Amino acid sequence: MSIEARSITKSFGTFTALRAVNLEVKEGELVALLGPSGSGKTTLLRIVAGLEFADAGNVLFDGEDATERSARDRRVGFVFQHYALFRHMNVFENVAFGLRVRPRRERPSTREIRERVHELLRLVQLDGMSERLPSQLSGGQRQRVALARALAVRPRVLLLDEPFGALDSRVRKDLRRWLRQLHDELHITSVFVTHDQEEALELADRVVVMNQGRIEQVGTPEQVYHEPATRFVYEFLGDVNIFHERAEDSRHGGIYVRPHAVEITRRPIGDGAVSARVQRVHVAGPTVKVELVTEFGDLVQAEISQEQQRRLALTREDAVYVRPNESRVFSEDYSI
Amino acid sequence: MGLLRTKRSVLPGFGLTLGFSVAYLCLLILIPLAGLFVKSASLTAAEFLAAVGSPRALAAYRLSFGASFAAAAANAVFGLVVAWVLVRYRFPGSGALDALVDLPFALPTAVAGITLTTLLAKNGWLGRYLEPFGIPVAYTPLGITIALIFIGLPFVVRTVQPVLQDLEPELEEAAASLGANRFETFRRVLFPTLWPALVTGFALAFARSLGEYGSVVFISGNMPMKTEIAPLLIVTQLEQYEYGAATAIAAVLLVLSFAMLLGINALQRYGTRRFAGAGEEPA
């Protein structure tokens, strides 16, 4: 099912969470809402789910206006950051909940419920755990139960609010990969909220970058990473150096360069090279991280390969030249 | 018996605190109560039965237990609603309302009784509107129940409130997004979680109502066989220097209350297990 949000505005007291936001999610897509806290991403998700109601604007499912429909009539599966499992029910009952509360006419038989629940538990790889209580599960297992519970009602849309936010980084990575696989199997239209750019870029078909209640950019992970529309997107999606090539550059915003695009040489080469002094070299890890200060006082972080480091043999206080290999310039509020 | 076998524990002082607790409970509760039974034992069996089994005494027990039960039940329902509103909504005056809940604790119960009687008597502010409908309140069991509701309210509100506070709104949102209506959400999600606290609040309100004297004597009218509660009957016996009979009635009241509280505890455990679902066994 496709989702469309049209000029959604929402404020809480004096705080404006969303300012006329438009969003379109196509059938079967996996979309990430990415932004810092307070950017309105969770509010937008909750409005789509019907857990929050917009002050203005419409939510459409498959082109049909669902703005006035309650959460219970929208048939969306919602997964919460802190799982929101029913503590007094075991895993089986948690997953069966959505089936059991249906009106009698639509309710599946006990046998059908049992089959469906076990099918879902197999899907989330928790089949042997159906008798456990949520308190007896790890965080990753709880979140998978929550996912199975949301899927039990065959939702038309799956909405996930920081689904991996409460998990440690290792589990998070596993679960992320697993969720992508699951989505490829089920093809259910899904939207997830995250503040982790790596998560959004790795998992989503399209990324919606939000800031201060507005959408800054919508695009594929490649687009938002390589062709950021605004300074905010550029800064939010990765480490950034702001760099001046001439002293008078300081009047402008400067040049934006990712650490891996900083070229370091012993001798000045070509145009745009700036002299700099090495402050620190971190050799541990897949790449070598070098901190430098340019002649104009900019602090620059560079990432070079281990091989380059073997050639350059950089150490503290070395005088070198740096040059941005690929860079962007943003003037005040619009991109060039 | 391995009952008192001490395990090595990071918290020291188990023996000391246990000894203190037992001594404390003995001094404050068991010894006075034992005295009660000793005193009532001064009666012969026939005198004892006559005292506790007289129609007047039986009517008093019935009224005391019936009115207390009704009041505690009413409090369980409306106390839950009050606690809900206090926890879930912030509105002007919600703080004051919250403080108001504790007033029945602080107010001398006689004051409450006199106030309620004045309000609900035939010519009182409220009573005069109820009278034409044939609902006399003052000097009836209904009046007694109302006084007991007043006394018992804080117990339910204050036991349910913290549990409600811990209940994340996400649980209700999850239930709603899974298609549950408000009733199903309450029945399957909220109630099982609230149940133990609600039963505790009910038991406290019930126990408190059984022993309540001050507020009831004013509103009940104290007509033997009709509106005479058991605690009042005890006082009446005392005033007539029938110490034996007074303690006998008190002893019966005590045993019945204790049995009921035990029953309520069992109900609470049952409910906790029942609502916790079948597969509670830790794997």
Q: What is the ipTM of this complex?
A: 0.82
* A191 lies within 8 A of chain B by CB: no
> Best of B90, B178, B281 to disrupt the A interface by mutation (most A CBs within 10 Å)?
B178
Beta pairing partners, A324: A262
Rounded average pLDDT over B249-275: 83
| Domain range list for chain A | 3-236, 241-329
Q: Is B184 helix (H, G, I), strand (E, B) or coil?
A: helix
Among left, alpha and beta (phi > 0; psi -120 to 50; other), residue A80 is: beta
pLDDT above 90 as % of chain B: 36
For chain B, what's the residue count?
283
pLDDT band at B29 (very low <50, low <70, confident <90, very high): confident
Give the fold, CATH level 3, of A241-329: OB fold (Dihydrolipoamide Acetyltransferase, E2P) (2.40.50)
Strand order in the sheet with A319-324: A262-265, A319-324, A274-282, A287-294, A299-305
Contacts of B4 (CB under 8 A, 6+ apart): B18
Asked whether the beta carbons of residue B192 and residue A88 sit closer than 8 angstroms, the reply is yes
pLDDT band at B276 (very low <50, low <70, confident <90, very high): low
Rounded Cα–Cα distance for residues B64 and B60 (Å): 6
Rounded Cα–Cα distance for residues A291 and A268 (Å): 18
CB hemisphere CA count around B180 (13 angstroms):
25
Considering only CB atoms, which chain B residues are within 8 Å of A150?
A: 177-178
Q: Tell me which residue of B188, B181, B187, B170 sits closest to A72, measured CA to CA.
A: B181
pLDDT band at B279 (very low <50, low <70, confident <90, very high): very low
CATH number of the A3-236 domain: 3.40.50.300
Q: Tell me which residue of B153, B161, B160, B166 sits closest to B200, measured CA to CA.
A: B160
pLDDT band at B40 (very low <50, low <70, confident <90, very high): confident
> Taking 80 as the threshold, does the pLDDT of residue B7 lie above it?
no
pLDDT at B274: 63
| Domain range list for chain B | 39-275
CB hemisphere CA count around A74 (13 angstroms):
31
Considering only CB atoms, which chain A residues are within 8 Å of B186?
A: none
> Taking 70 as the threshold, does the pLDDT of residue B275 lie above it?
no
* A100 lies within 8 A of chain B by CB: yes
- Determine contact, residues A70/B173, Cβ cutoff 8 Å: no
pTM of the complete model: 0.77
Angle at A280 (CA atoms; ends A279, A281), nearest 5 degrees: 140
- Determine contact, residues A93/A86, Cβ cutoff 8 Å: yes
Angle at A212 (CA atoms; ends A207, A215), nearest 5 degrees: 35
- Determine contact, residues A207/A201, Cβ cutoff 8 Å: yes
pLDDT at A279: 92
Higher pLDDT, residue B202 or B4: B202
Asked whether the beta carbons of residue A87 and residue B193 sit closer than 8 angstroms, the reply is yes
pLDDT at A250: 52
Higher pLDDT, residue A305 or B11: A305
Contacts of B221 (CB under 8 A, 6+ apart): B138, B139, B140, B143, B227
pLDDT at A144: 92
* A86 lies within 8 A of chain B by CB: yes
Pairing mode, strands A157-161 and A76-79: parallel
Amino acid at B104: P
Picking from B171, B176, B277, the nearest residue to A93 by CB comes out as B277
Q: List the single residue in A with minimal CA-CA distance to B184.
A: A101
pLDDT tens across the length of chain A (336 residues): 899 999 999 999 899 999 999 999 999 999 999 999 989 999 999 999 999 999 999 999 998 898 988 888 888 999 999 999 998 899 999 999 999 999 888 899 999 999 999 999 998 889 889 999 999 999 889 999 999 999 999 999 999 999 988 888 888 888 888 889 889 988 999 999 999 999 999 999 999 999 999 999 999 999 999 888 988 999 899 888 887 766 555 556 678 888 888 888 888 877 778 889 999 999 888 899 999 998 888 889 999 999 988 998 888 888 999 888 877 777 654 443
* A166 lies within 8 A of chain B by CB: no
- Asked which of A26-40, A235-249, B77-91, B189-203 is least confident by mean pLDDT, the reply is A235-249
The arrangement of secondary structure in B39-275, i.e. its CATH architecture, is: Orthogonal Bundle (1.10)
Backbone φ and ψ of A271, nearest 5°: -80, 150
DSSP A210: E
Picking from B179, B192, B279, the nearest residue to A102 by CB comes out as B179
Pairing mode, strands A262-265 and A255-257: unpaired
